[in-house]
Amino acid sequence: MSDSTISARLNEIAHDIDRAANANNPSVADWPESLFGKRIRTIADELDQPNAGTHAYELIAATEAANIQNTETLIHLVAATVLCNLGEREVSFTPADMDHMHQHFIMSAVRDGMSTTVKIERRDVSLPPMALQPGIDDSPAEPQAPEHVYDRPLWAVRVGDKIIPALDRIDAETRQAMEGELATVENRFCYHPDCPSTGCQRAPSGDGAAEVTSAA
């Protein structure tokens, strides 16, 4: 037990109350503990050895609840600031979306004075080395053909039947992470949801309807 001046004084007060209640009984050993004296001693014990439910624990719980509320408010403020910078008006996200972002992207933040820049880069999700995969031939592979790259002018994110325009590929990948696992990145000729990514069905013949490609 800690040496608490307050608890010691409370025990002295409890003793004085018991003595006053037993004024006609000269033997201290025979004093019955008075109701008020017992209550005061209980409070003194709680000050020396706090238990769950006492004032100290209630104060800690209230402080933690305030911290959680402040953190949640800060998250909302940051999300609203990002929306303002992107020219958007609404965003929805869940803890699962945050987990998805953490699994697929590496986040970094740099602070310069009052300005903070947050950057995300897609994680390397490649398979482990061939030698570590049982049943796979790890002999040198044949030379592969150059990657086929499309020169489509538009980037977007598709979520079901909805097409969300993006500024570029990086912006599209960022929006994909925000939309969740059902979202896919598309390099398109138009933003018409019913048109395939390989061409615009509504464009006049020869005006963006044909696929254009280039070597990597």
**Nearest-angstrom CA–CA distance, 216 and 207:** 24
Q: Is residue 153 part of a domain?
A: yes
Q: Is residue 193's pLDDT more than 80?
A: yes
Q: Is residue 166 part of a domain?
A: yes
Q: Is residue 105 part of a domain?
A: no
Q: Is residue 41 part of a domain?
A: yes
Q: Is residue 37 part of a domain?
A: yes
Q: Is residue 211 part of a domain?
A: yes
Q: Is residue 18 part of a domain?
A: yes
**Under 8 Å CB-to-CB from 172, ≥6 apart: which residues?**
155, 156, 157, 166, 185, 186
Tracing tokens 């004084």 back to the chain, one arrives at 9
In tens, the pLDDT along 44-67 reads 777 776 555 556 667 777 777 777
- Overall domain count for the chain: 2
Q: Give the model's confidence band at 156: pLDDT under 50 very low, under 70 low, under 90 confident, else very high.
A: very high
Expressed as residue numbers, the domain containing 207 is 146-215
Q: Is residue 71 part of a domain?
A: no
The stretch 119-147 carries a mean pLDDT of: 60
Q: Is residue 182's pLDDT more than 70?
A: yes
In tens, the pLDDT along 84-114 reads 888 888 888 888 888 888 888 888 888 888 8
